[in-house]
Amino acid sequence: MRRFFQKIKHMPLTISLAATAIVFTAIAIKGAGSIYDDSERDRLTTPVLSLVFNGINDGEYPWDAFSGKTNETISEASAAEVSEAAQESASEASDTANAETTAMETTAESAAVDEQSTDSAESSSTEVEPEEPVVEDLDVPEAGTETVQLDGKDSALIAVTDNMVNAAENANEEIDVQRESNPDYVEADSMPEGVNSDVMGAVDYGVAGRRYLAPEGAAYNTDTTGLFAENGHYYKFRTVDDSYFSDAIFIGDSRTDGLATYGDMKGTSFLAKESLSVYRMWKIKVPFRFADGTIQKSTVLEVLQNFHFRKVYLSVGVNELGVPTSVDFYDNYRDAISIIRKLQPDAIIYIEGIMHVSKNRSSSDAVFNNTSIVERNTAISTLANGHDIFYIDMNPSVCDENGDLLSDLTGDGIHLKASAYAKWHEFLLQNAIVRSDELDNIGSFPTGW
Amino acid sequence: MVIFSGLQFIFRFLPIFLLVYYLVPAKFRNGVLLVGSLVFYASGVPEFVILLIILTVINWWFGCKISMARRSMSRMDSMLKDDVGDIYDAGPGGRLLRRVETRRQLTHHHAVVFLVVLVVLNAGVLTACKILALTVDSKLLPLGMSFYIFKMISFIADCYTGKITKPQTFINTAAYFTMFPQVTQGPIMRFDEKYWETKGKTAFQAERFEKGIFCFIIGLCLKVLLADRIGILWNEIDKIGFESISTPLAWLGAYGYSFELYFDFFGYSLMAAGLGMMLGFPFVENFHHPYASDGVAKFYRDWHVTLGAWFRDYIYFPLGGSHCSKKKNIRNLLIVWLITGLWHGGTLNFVIWGLVLGLIIIWEKFVMKGPMEKFKVIGHFHVMVLIPLTWVIFAIPDLGQLGLYFTRLFPFSGNSGTAGNVDPGDVLRYLNIYWPLFAASAILCVPATYRAIEKLYKKAVGKILLVALFWVAVYYMTISSSNAFMYFSF
């Protein structure tokens, strides 16, 4: 025994490693019931102390394990922070009250979500968590601002200004006046052909992980009544020139970022950042490339509240493939569209179908495969209404007949090569909607609200 | 589990293995190492563990045969030498000696046949698997085969030359072939007879174990915190497409890839050497500051040292090395580098890579020798500019794409960016993100840095820093294993 301790004396590094490992393990075990979710860990491959590091990545620090916090109280704390921020920025007392209402609702909801997650083996705190887009009014609201409470799973407060309301009304008047002179305008009882893109299918190579797909017999909440405009008249695609994009905003992930960099689309505004997703798009700062070439960091929300766009292109969904399930993705996508609709009430919204991946990927990757992409595209395409929200699917421009992204157009199987963005650009030019109120109004610069 | 920089290896396999290894009596340790290594290998590629065992048994058996032949040959040699005066004497003694001489020749003949059969068998299995991997399915090249086959060939050759003096026990030989620190990616450690025989008798060496932990942490950090992260740049360039990268980005990419390769393999080798030391083996140096070399020939004496030494001892020297005519020397160099190229991969770019290196070394040796001795800067220039360019050849298997990359590196050679739309600001965009990694890489190419690290390690603050770095590396390992978006966020 004495010899043992003599040897140990010469091993300070080894001892410190072992000691720190024990400390981390203890923290993990202590926090496993409260701040960490240990239901997903494969005990054979992953040590319990990994919970601590995953926690740090999710913003839950080791000392939280000892402060008696639980998942629920933590969300409460962060919600309180949000409401504090709202208090600082909002000048009206009523707004503060509203913001607090939201914060409370959010807490109640996340508690409800937590209850569900203990039942469901699918959910995990180690995944990118679908978090509620807590939306607060960051600008000093003008007098007479009306706040709108959104329906649906995620509640959020959106400040709709008078200008936004007026713009929507003006647009409707314009449409009434100019309806007859627009050749792309058709009147029909139900949505005719050529109003939205068809969802491009793809060969199923049988590798898609079940946990990411919609469960058997899952129902999508397609109840869009009241959310979108009335039926009865529709617009068809036509070809336009680049001036069409000058009052448009393209929101998306790294693929849209590539379009901004390599798509030869100067004079267009972009809000694009890698890994932007429907789960995170309201929380993160994104480089905002304004049409005049200036770049600044903003949140999507700030940009949409401050600037008036006539077209909004949304291209997200590839990062979300790793978050179960398609139904959850759809719900969040739907909420995102609703928020955009509120903030840009007279804009044409384009839902861009998720671009497929290469055959190499699609036939070997449980997450990033076309089976999953087609399922999700089919889901989000139902959000289009042919009036002010349209589904466009650029996949036929870049895929082979199996629905696989052509291998010579991609280096990594996920993104277009720089030289291939021209195909996407070309597709956008050929699949544009010119609404009646847009007939005389193509090529203007985005203005402030 | 077969990756050292993984949670399962560090927190599951390794602690359990070390406990068992040091709790059993010393004489059983090589046996524990053998069993542990087979478990380790089987956890990665269970379908090929049988092949590893079969090759191990065959090589051990024939190694014994060759050693025994060798021993009886030397016994007969001494008999012949003692009585050298009487060989041609008539009478019964003389006849006996002539019989001994015939026997000796026969034994020698057997040893040669065993050697040739075994080398052909080993090289044949490796070649066959490489061809199958290339033509049918890349999964058909068993994990680590390029390394363990080379160990087997060196073992057999050392038995033949007498470096290994007597037949070895199966446990020791098999543990040597399969030992988990080296079975997947080397280093190609030589069989040190004295060491393996006495190993069973030595007690736990605390200082060596501690030094092993030190090497392992440094290696782990080089791989996880540097190589894996700077490697993302090459993916980005691949994503953009070579036709659309600016010339500065092409160069940045070449250096980024060179650093990734160096710190990935250097880091891995340090981890392997560290693991070996934890088990009581001596340190095996696989990289000796190659980027500080003053010439490509020197670079490759310091890069993947155990592989270079293997090629030197078992191919270059047997061919005659440099102790022959200039013409033959050049031939030998080209043969060695051609085989080196093919060993790294079967596609044409590896052949080109090997031959280009061979030619550069010939150029240095026969043309530039004088100037390079006078002006060290020439050799450093070779290492810092030519080596990254050769790594580009190494990186791109498609020759069309390879040519394209070189037109981006040297835009005056014809089509300069007409095919793609180049973003002239791309290099700044990436430098903005990657400059800390490039700075760290450059600093870590300087030998003095490692002297400073070793000095620091002796102090308490250095040890605290190392422990902290280890956990930072674990943090990155954790989030990259549970979150696929860490390296692949789109």
Same domain, A180 and A34: no
B164 Cβ contact list (under 8 Å, min separation 6) = B63, B67, B155, B158, B191, B193
- The pLDDT tens digits for A128-153 are 444 444 444 444 334 444 555 444 43
Same domain, A423 and A330: yes
Chain B nearest C-alpha distance from A296 (Å): 15
Beta partners for A288? A271, A296
For residue A345, give the amino acid letter: P
Does B7 fall in a domain? no
Pick the last residue of a domain from B171, B203, B235. B203
Distance CA B54, CA A441 (A): 78
Same domain, B173 and B243: no
Structure confidence at residue A177 as a pLDDT band (50, 70, 90): confident
Residue with tokens 């949670």: B7
Does B4 fall in a domain? no
Does B63 fall in a domain? yes
Please report residues of B whose CB lies closer than 8 A to that of A274.
Answer: 489-490
Distance CA B6, CA B477 (A): 7
- The pLDDT tens digits for B180-195 are 999 999 899 999 988 8
What DSSP letter does each residue of A14-55 carry, written as one string?
A: HHHHHHHHHHHHHHHHHHHTTTS--SS--TTTS-TTHHHHHH
Please report residues of A whose CB lies closer than 8 A to that of B463.
Answer: 12-13, 16
The answer to whether residue A248 scores a pLDDT higher than 60 is yes
Same domain, A156 and A166: no
H-helix segments, B292-325: 296-302, 305-311, 317-319
Q: Does B241 touch chain A (CB under 8 A)?
A: yes
Q: Does B432 touch chain A (CB under 8 A)?
A: no
> B470, A17: Cβ pair inside 8 Å?
yes
- The pLDDT tens digits for B371-388 are 989 999 999 999 999 999
Length of chain B equals 490
Q: Report phi then psi at A358, rounded to 5.
A: -70, 165
The residue-averaged pLDDT of A363-380 equals 93
Distance CA B285, CA B290 (A): 12
B48: containing domain:
26-203
Same domain, B71 and B195: yes
More confident call, A384 vs B288: B288
Pick the last residue of a domain from A105, A136, A160. A160
Same domain, A104 and A245: no
Does B104 fall in a domain? yes
Distances (CA, A) of B177 to A272, B51, B57, B104, B122: 52, 13, 10, 30, 13
Pick the last residue of a domain from A160, A194, A218. A160
Pick the last residue of a domain from B203, B218, B250. B203
Q: Does A11 touch chain B (CB under 8 A)?
A: yes
Same domain, B316 and B453: yes
Q: Which residues numbered 30-69 in A keep a CB inside 8 Å of some CB on B?
A: 44-47, 49-50, 53-54, 56-57
Q: Does B464 touch chain A (CB under 8 A)?
A: yes
Please report residues of B whose CB lies closer than 8 A to that of A127.
Answer: 483
Query: Whole-model pTM?
Result: 0.85
Q: Does A192 touch chain B (CB under 8 A)?
A: no
Distance CA B333, CA B319 (A): 10
The answer to whether residue A91 scores a pLDDT higher than 70 is no
Same domain, B176 and B214: no
Does B490 fall in a domain? no
- The pLDDT tens digits for B415-443 are 554 556 888 889 999 999 999 999 999 99
Does B20 fall in a domain? no
Same domain, A246 and A343: yes
Same domain, A365 and A431: yes
Q: For chain A, percent helix, then strand, then coil, each to nearest 5?
A: 45, 15, 45
Instruction: Tell me the HSE value of A410 on the side-chain side, using a 13 A CA sphere.
Output: 21
- The pLDDT tens digits for A54-80 are 888 878 888 887 776 555 444 444 444
Residue of A287, A342, A336 lying closest to A131 (CA atoms):
A336
Distance CA B415, CA A415 (A): 24
Question: How many domains in chain A?
Answer: 3
Of A262, A275, A420, the CB nearest to B423: A262
Output the six-digit token pair for B432: 């903005």
The residue-averaged pLDDT of A300-310 equals 92
User: Which residue of chain B has the CA closest to A419?
Assistant: B420
The residue-averaged pLDDT of A344-359 equals 95
Structure confidence at residue B490 as a pLDDT band (50, 70, 90): low
Same domain, B292 and B183: no
Same domain, B337 and B422: yes
Does B289 fall in a domain? yes
Same domain, A280 and A395: yes
Distance CA B5, CA A448 (A): 52
Same domain, A152 and A34: no
Question: How many domains in chain B?
Answer: 2
Same domain, B344 and B214: yes
Pick the last residue of a domain from B203, B238, B264. B203
- The pLDDT tens digits for B279-295 are 999 999 999 999 999 99
Does B367 fall in a domain? yes
**pLDDT for res B462:** 94
Q: Does B198 touch chain A (CB under 8 A)?
A: no
Of A7, A49, A367, the CB nearest to B204: A7
Distance CA B167, CA B59 (A): 12
A36: containing domain:
2-66
Q: B21-46 in b/e burial notation, b at 16+ Cβ within 10 A?
A: bbeeeeeebbbbbbbbbbebbbbbbe
Same domain, A106 and A172: no
Chain A nearest C-alpha distance from B305 (Å): 28
Same domain, A307 and A441: yes
The residue-averaged pLDDT of A324-337 equals 91
User: Which residue of chain B has the CA closest to A50?
Assistant: B478
Instruction: Tell me the HSE value of B212 on the side-chain side, using a 13 A CA sphere.
Output: 22
Same domain, A107 and A249: no
Same domain, A133 and A102: yes
Please report residues of B whose CB lies closer than 8 A to that of A355.
Answer: none
Distances (CA, A) of B102 to A291, B76, B80, B109: 93, 10, 11, 10
The answer to whether residue B469 scores a pLDDT higher than 80 is yes
Q: Which residues numbered 287-346 in A keep a CB inside 8 Å of some CB on B?
A: 318-319, 322
Distances (CA, A) of B282 to B185, B207, B211, B276: 18, 12, 10, 7
